[in-house]
Structure 1
Amino acid sequence: MAKNVSLASLDQKLAMAKRCSHEGVVAGAKAAVVASVATAIPTFAIGKMLPWARTYLNPTAKALIVSTAAGMAYFVVADKTILKTARQNSFKQA
């Protein structure tokens, strides 16, 4: 038997989903900035100090290292934040 779902409850669920995803985007962006700084400083410092890194790590490789760390941090933190807020909202509704 299908539930009778009102338009108001659908709007409420949509608003809650938008809020969850917005919180995830904000948290992911903050984590990406932190990861970029935390990765860029040692990457560029090592590129100046170690002869091996000076030879084999060109600027493109250094940028790839930093952007990979930032991207991974963004997606991991955004996903965890969205799941956390969705779980909290499901417990509130139950």
Structure 2
Amino acid sequence: MAKNCSHEGVVAGAKAAVLATIATAIPTMASARMVPWAKAHLNHTAQALIVSTMAGAAYFIVADKTILKSARRNSFDNADQP
């Protein structure tokens, strides 16, 4: 049961990381080419750091919430049994 809970968390976290990467990369790349301050201060490394940080944060937040939700669901289901 624990493996199933963690697997659900990994899958949900990976999906969230992909969506966060897309949602962060588009505005970051666009602003680095159009906004004068960003053009002067955000090199390729900074842009990659912004995108990867958001993807990592999304992964861990969603995976943690999914695992906790699954654990709560399983603990309530098993509490009714004698």
When normalised by structure 1's length, the TM-score is: 0.83
Aligned-partner Cα distance in 1 for 2:63–2:35: 35
Q: Which runs of 5+ in 1 are unaligned?
A: 1-15
Deviation of residue 62 (structure 1)?
A: 0.1
Deviation at 1:51, TM superposition (A): 1.0
Tell me by how many angstroms 1:58 deviates.
0.1
In angstroms, what is the RMSD of aligned CA positions? 0.3
Partner of 1:63, secondary structure, is: helix
* CA deviation string 1:53-76 (max 9, x = no partner): 111000000000000000000000
Name the counterpart of 2:71. Answer: 86
Q: What CA distance in whole angstroms lies between the structure 2 residues aligned with 1:86 and 1:21?
A: 9
> What is the percent sequence identity of the aligned residues?
73
Q: Return the alpha-carbon distance in structure 2 between the equivalents of residues 52 and 86 of structure 1.
A: 46
TM-score of the superposed pair, with normalisation by structure 2: 0.95
Higher relative contact order (Cα pairs below 8 Å, separated by 6+ residues): 2
Unaligned runs of 5+ in 2: none
Aligned to 1:66: 51
The structure having more radius of gyration, on CA atoms, is: 1
